[in-house]
Amino acid sequence: MALEVRVYDEVTDIDPKVMWGLTFRQLIAAGAMVGVTALVVWRGASTGFVKDIPAWILGACAPFVLWAWTRPAGLRLERWLPHVTRAMLAPRRLLYVDDVIWKHQHKTRRSHVSRTARKEANQSEAGR
């Protein structure tokens, strides 16, 4: 019987569970959410907008949840978000259905003749 030890590929990818099964990041976010929730409940109750409190809590705590618990593509949000924004804001080349893709197609494509001229040339007159 052999002794097996689990070895991680990348040591920095491991998030140690500090307390209650949460990482440091999640503990900080949970504490901030408790504080924000208490502030929203106190403010909503003092102003009389009791029906709006759940929506305010959801809106105020959503950034903390995104920051602490989401890991899109296995990356933390602060590493994933710049890549996505750079990809979304990068200039793109739009390709149309009949657009020339390869360089050798420029020679063979009949781009100098319009479509209506080609249609008129291919139509045969009735009775001739």
Confidence band for 53, pLDDT divided at 50, 70 and 90: confident
Three-class DSSP labels, 80-127: HHHHHHHHHHCCCCCCCCCCCCCCCHHHHCCCCCCHHHHHHHHCCCCC
User: For residue 16, is pLDDT > 60?
Assistant: yes
Give the global pTM: 0.54
- Every domain of the chain and the residues it spans: 14-70
| Across 18-22, 55-59, 79-83, least confident range | 18-22
Residue 10 contacts residue 53 (beta carbons within 8 Å): no
